[in-house]
Structure 1
Amino acid sequence: MPPATPGYAHSPAYGGSPSYPFYPGYPPYANYAGVPPVPTWPGPGYWYPGYSPYPGYPGYSPYPGYSPYPGYPAWPAWPGYPAHWQPGSAAAPQRPRDNYQVMLGIIGLICSGLALLAGLGSLVLAGITVLVTSTSRSTGTFYPLTVQSLAYTCAGLIGGGFCLYHSIRSLLGKPSHVLKMPPFWIFLIGYVVTLAIGLVLQATHQAVAFLPATTVLIFLTAIFPALTLLALGLHLLRQARWSTSWRRFTLALTSGATMGILFASLLELSATLLLAAAGSNFNLACLNDPSNPVCQTGTKTLLIVLAAVIAPLVEETVKPLGVALLSGRLTSGIEAFILGMSAGIGFDLVETIGYISMGYSDWAHVALVRSGAGLLHGLGAGMVALGWYHLSRTKQRRLRLGFACWLYAVLQHALWNACGSLSLLPEPVGPAVQSWQLNLGFISFGLDELLILLLTIIFLVLFILIVRWLRAHYQEPTPASAGAADSSSGRLAAVGV
């Protein structure tokens, strides 16, 4: 508080003597204490922590022959201390709403509603397939469709429900908590135990003895490795100063499991139909069974192009689209990578559950080979999201860095799919790959499956190296906190897709 002017230094309000000091040519003012104070600036009901409000005083009534003494103005707000609203005073000033946040909140409400409707439709479809399976006993035809419908149901109802919740809270201006997960080894132990149960059931020919239990195990063998990867990434980045919120994580995970799957399916279906129209000998039945004798060499070549070229280009582009909406608000490259990885994991959960269900009679074997799918989709989508971050938030070399991140994801995916398509190559390579087997007694692996397992190990090493590089090069300028994750400069609505 600044020192009082000489005319106020001895007033009762400052603990001085009750008499007013003499001014040249003026008599003393004896009783100053009865002057009523004027409310503090900027209006009634405001105070400042640690400081008494300076009231301000009106001008004095003029004496005969003299002009009035001007009043002392109220002291303005003290820097660094906001005014606190007191009940009964005038309306407090409101912080202006973030139009971008409001827009995303509205989009979130709409998209999460659509996701909920899609989830309900998938639930109805799953019920119909269960009914048909129980009456016709045609498990091999309808069980994969049932499991896939249940995966879409979970993505729509659970993911859409959480996105709806966060979208409403965002529109109400409510903050979201910082993302935290249990240690990664908890999920890793869960995956090992689940996979061991599956292998034991397979060895005893009980893998599909009770389909409801088999369905639960299929879901767990897809969920546990994906969550292990995400928790491992958070663990390796724990020393870096960064944060993200549950709201943004929910957006990323749900968008990958819904919007990413939808767009990829539509684009890949369009590409497949174009290939079928361009190739006179292309047979659509070969998509499900490439080993069918009707599948000629030209058809298999088109299938390799579809798997190793078109699918990587499409999927790596559309998986992190939900995170791209947040690129302008992300606080660091680490947050962009983690949210992109979350979108890829959401995509992986739905896709992996579908692949395991298609080989349900040998589901533990398929789940083991698909262990690295979370790395494939999570690491790829994380790199693409990091590319989006460079395009929107950096100025130097942003085009080269953004394109390099996207190209890495595409090449990684193309290499994975190419190893899985070796059996489609013409003679003598294709038949040799199909005939070669590594028999371990309780389980056997083909050459293409061994190559995929080897790629899983390589991708894991690359993932750890990339995360360590991110930890060294991308950090927030200030330490992260629960309030900073959704502060007025960084808070963003969760968009349910």
Structure 2
Amino acid sequence: MQRFVSIALIVVGLGLAMLGLLAGLFYLGLPVVSPDARYDLLQINTVAMAVLAVSGGAGSVLAWVGWRRYSGAASSAAHLPSPWWLVLLFLLALAVGEAVLQTNVAPWLFPPVHVIASMAAPLFLLALAASLLRPSGLVVQRRDVALQVAGGAVLATGLAIVIEVILVALLALAAALIVALTPGGSARLETLVAQLSRPEVLSDPAFLQSLLSSPLVLIGAGLVIALGAPLIEEFSKSVGVVLIAAGRARLTPGEAFLWGVAAGAGFAITETMFNVVTVLPAWGGPLMLRSATAVVHCLAAGLMGLAWQAWLSGERRWRLPALYGLAVVIHGLWNGVAGLASVLQAQGTLNANLLVGAGGTLLVFALAGLFVINSGLFVYIGRRLGQPPVMALAPLPVESTVTPEV
């Protein structure tokens, strides 16, 4: 089984690395191939760099890990940098990126800065978890940590996207059937299809307002964002932990938690890198929001690591559904509050309704509260798992009593 996994890592990794290289070159060449089309060069160059970093970089790591495992090469212990160096790196990248965007000086510098900033916050959480677990004497292999980060970045995200697309398609089909069965439903569906066939309709305030006012749209979107996505993503992030842990004689809770955090960090890197680039030239605010979301990804994935460790060890297997449920609740609550805040703020802007917009602002403060709670829970779990092992005291030697002869 493990030999098959190693070969699969080599093949998939090399394929992803090649795909990332070709896709990155394709994006860079778009303005040359179609010079008459209007392109945002900053966005194109940033997307190209992100594709090269995620698909090319993570694919290369997967292939390297697969080859090392296949050849039986020994792996050295992972030595992660101090988390505070990564905080400094994030702040520096944030400052440089904003300076480039505001002044338009050296725009070529922005794509690599965006990649660095997107990676810094998730890797900070990984380094923080490792430092919290260090007092327990935990030693993890560099190869295992690299595999989980790379797998979370490309394999988990790819699996999650495929399942989510299928889920959205099924929900859209179900909604269309429900509408079609209502009086006048067929005509409404034809009108909607005609509207969606025009790209400019997505910038029409009246059309957007009709979507935001539709109970069917809001309920469907809420189910996908607050329930479907967390269920799918937390499962997807944990697949790598299960595949590698299955070949181990024993996996400690600390190791399982760190593996999960590593997978969550990889997932958060990809999500941040591609989600933030879609809202350019706005960058600093969305980047900080996605960096806060990295806490949710790493915490929930760490809980999934603990869940699978309990199941595979055969001890307290009830923890798998319990911790899976907790991870989904944490993720779903964050997604739900963030999504509702976005809807209220959008409605307030479209309707010029200050009260509705203020409700969205209050939910942003609620999101900040969730960030503090999730961060505290992350540190608490890390400290509990990182407690030094209790050393049993050796019994004191019993002094022999010799009765003197009379």
TM-score class, shorter-chain normalisation, is: 0.7 to 0.9
Deviation at 1:180, TM superposition (A): 0.8
Matches within 5 A, 1:19-418: 100-129=1-30, 131=32, 136-139=37-40, 144=43, 147-199=46-98, 205-206=102-103, 210-280=106-176, 292-295=208-211, 296-297=213-214, 298-328=216-246, 329=248, 330-395=250-315, 397-398=316-317, 400-418=318-336
Deviation at 1:316, TM superposition (A): 0.8
Rounded Cα–Cα distance in structure 1 between residues aligned with 2:275 and 2:303: 24
Residue 357 of structure 2 corresponds to 435
Percent pairwise identity: 23
Distance 1:388 1:317, change over 3 A: same
Deviation at 1:345, TM superposition (A): 0.8
Q: Which moved further from structure 2: 280-289 or 241-250?
A: 280-289
Deviation at 1:117, TM superposition (A): 3.0
Distance 1:374 1:288, change over 3 A: farther
CA contact (8 A) 1:179 1:244 kept: yes
Rounded Cα–Cα distance in structure 2 between residues aligned with 1:177 and 1:379: 26
Rounded Cα–Cα distance in structure 1 between residues aligned with 2:298 and 2:278: 22
Unmatched tracts of structure 1, length 5 or more = 1-99, 438-444, 478-497
Deviation at 1:271, TM superposition (A): 1.4
CA contact (8 A) 1:272 1:306 kept: yes
Rounded Cα–Cα distance in structure 1 between residues aligned with 2:123 and 2:34: 32
Rounded Cα–Cα distance in structure 2 between residues aligned with 1:409 and 1:289: 36
Rounded Cα–Cα distance in structure 2 between residues aligned with 1:129 and 1:460: 42
Rounded Cα–Cα distance in structure 2 between residues aligned with 1:109 and 1:201: 38
CA contact (8 A) 2:149 2:263 kept: yes
Q: For residues 126-161 of structure 1, what are the alpha-carbon distances to aligned partners after superposition, in whole Å with 9 as ceiling and x for unaligned?
A: 22345468764431xx75565345323222222222
> Residue type matched to 1:424 in 2?
V
Rounded Cα–Cα distance in structure 2 between residues aligned with 1:317 and 1:289: 35
TM (normalized to structure 1)? Answer: 0.66
Say how many residue pairs are matched. Answer: 363
State which of 377, 381, 401 in structure 2 corresponds to 1:466: 381
> Residue type matched to 2:369 in 1?
L
Secondary structure of 2:90's counterpart equals helix
CA contact (8 A) 1:290 1:300 kept: no
Deviation at 1:189, TM superposition (A): 1.0
CA contact (8 A) 1:147 1:354 kept: no
Secondary structure of 1:127's counterpart equals helix
Distance 1:471 1:255, change over 3 A: same
Distance 1:117 1:427, change over 3 A: closer
RMSD: 3.2
Deviation at 1:193, TM superposition (A): 2.2
State whether structure 2 residue 338 is matched by structure 1 residue 420.
Answer: yes
> Residue type matched to 1:435 in 2?
G
Q: For residues 425-469 of structure 1, what are the alpha-carbon distances to aligned partners after superposition, in whole Å with 9 as ceiling and x for unaligned?
A: 6989x96676239xxxxxxx9444433333222211110011112
Secondary structure of 2:283's counterpart equals helix
CA contact (8 A) 2:28 2:44 kept: no
Deviation at 1:213, TM superposition (A): 2.2
Structure number with greater Rg is 1
Distance 1:435 1:310, change over 3 A: same
CA contact (8 A) 1:334 1:474 kept: no
Residue 185 of structure 2 corresponds to none
CA contact (8 A) 1:433 1:446 kept: no
CA contact (8 A) 2:98 2:284 kept: yes
CA contact (8 A) 1:144 1:354 kept: no
Q: For residues 233-282 of structure 1, what are the alpha-carbon distances to aligned partners after superposition, in whole Å with 9 as ceiling and x for unaligned?
A: 11111111222111111211111111111111111111111222222367
> Residue type matched to 1:162 in 2?
V
TM (normalized to structure 2)? Answer: 0.79
